[in-house]
Amino acid sequence: ATPPGIDSVANVCSHCHVVTAELFAESAHEPAFAELGMPACVTCHGNHDVMKPSDAMLTGGEGTPCATCHEANSVPLNKAAQLRTMVEGLSSQIDRATAILTRAEHAGMEIGAPRFELLAAKESLIKARTETHSLKIEQVKAATDPGFIVAEKSLKSGQDLLTELQFRRKGLVVSMLVI
């Protein structure tokens, strides 16, 4: 039961996920999947019970799509682990920046600009997760590096805001004592 104009259910995904499909088509997986008669997206992400993508899918551990074709400690799984490390590193840095900005916001500090700038890091993360389909470390790194810079800047802004908050509180105490 494929939609009109679609030769395979596996190709339905590429209508919305065009960039991901193009990266996959240029990767080493595309010819390997074709040779084995495995449908592209469906093999890793499922068909009717679509598996929600996560960074954990890149581990190659038991129960992940990678483990069905690649042996433990193989070169492809080690590459997948490198990709995951880069993506999770950026995700973690964004989470740290978000947490400190939230603390500053709850303390009454204005965090609009750093929070807005952090959106660029989140866009880098989305791009990096998409780039993993290329299986090219350089391309994923090219996506994560700008995100790290922005997330680090936002983290620093949050730290600076909390430092300023402490300075203001001390100033308030001194003012109260003088008054």
> Taking a C-beta distance cutoff of 8 angstroms, is the pair 71, 77 a contact?
yes
87-142 pLDDT, tens digit per residue, is: 999 999 999 999 999 999 999 999 999 999 999 999 999 999 999 989 899 999 99
Residues 6+ apart with CB under 8 A from 28: 135
- Res. 48: pLDDT tops 70: no
Per the CB < 8 A criterion, the answer to whether 66 and 57 are in contact is yes
Classify residue 101 by burial, with Cβ atoms within 10 Å: 0-12, 13-18, 19+: buried
Whether 71 shows a pLDDT value over 70: the answer reads yes
| 2 or 23, higher pLDDT | 23
Name which of 165, 88, 152, 145 is nearest 118 in CA terms: 152
47 backbone dihedrals φ, ψ, rounded to 5° = -110, -85
The model's pLDDT over 157-177, given as tens digits with 9 standing for 90+, comes to 999 999 999 998 899 899 999
Across the chain, what does the average pLDDT equal?
A: 86
